[in-house]
Amino acid sequence: MEMTNKALYDTSHTIAAELIGAHEYPWQVLPEIKEFIIRLGNTLNSEKFEKRGEDIWVAKSAKVFPSAYIAGPCIIDENAEVRHCAFIRGSAIVGKNCVVGNSTELKNVILFDNVQVPHYNYVGDSILGFKSHLGAGAITSNVKSDKTLVTVNYNGERVETGLKKFGAMVGDMTEVGCNSVLCPGTVLGKNCTIYPLSRVRGFIPESHIFKGAEKGIVKKI
């Protein structure tokens, strides 16, 4: 199935490779992020990482602006940048060279290396793959309005996840346009492009372009 961790992610680009490699599907990782961070954090090299409060580990090469708020458990990996007024609510892994920008909020997430969420983004109960990028104002919606369990629409079938909170699984090198909403249970394959102002739901295959509800999905040439 195209929605597996192996299909979506190159785990050589994350400090969470062990956790992701232990599961077939990415949403199976979400309930275990918190405990994994605590376990991993206590093994990190003190020459590269410093502990900044309860269960918060920040790489010495990372840049965290004074007005950013970070709650644990959290790991900020090497050369990442957490900018002014970023709000990290806990259970977050921010990979190497990531940018977490102004007024961006993270909660129960894994950002692979080189991910950019630089302007007014909300990323909750989600995994963003290597070099993926959310344009300004793009968000993951992680709870359905009726509060029922989230399913994934895959080729006309509903895949049960057993989760009430599930935002989006974004494959490596995928671009999400400004002010787009990734609805609960969205899975985007590698190297996809989502047009600005899109409302996305279900599964988008690898190397496809989502042009909106009216124009549909086309394969990249």
Catalytic residue positions? 119
Give me the DSSP letters along 56-117: EEEETT-EE-TT-EE-SSEEE-TT-EE-TT-EE-SSEEE-TT-EEEET-EEEEEEE-TT-EE
CB atoms within 10 A of CB 195: 17
- Polymer length in residues for the chain: 221
Q: How far apart are CA 73 and CA 93, in angstroms?
A: 9
Q: Beta-carbon neighbour count of residue 40 at 10 Å?
A: 17
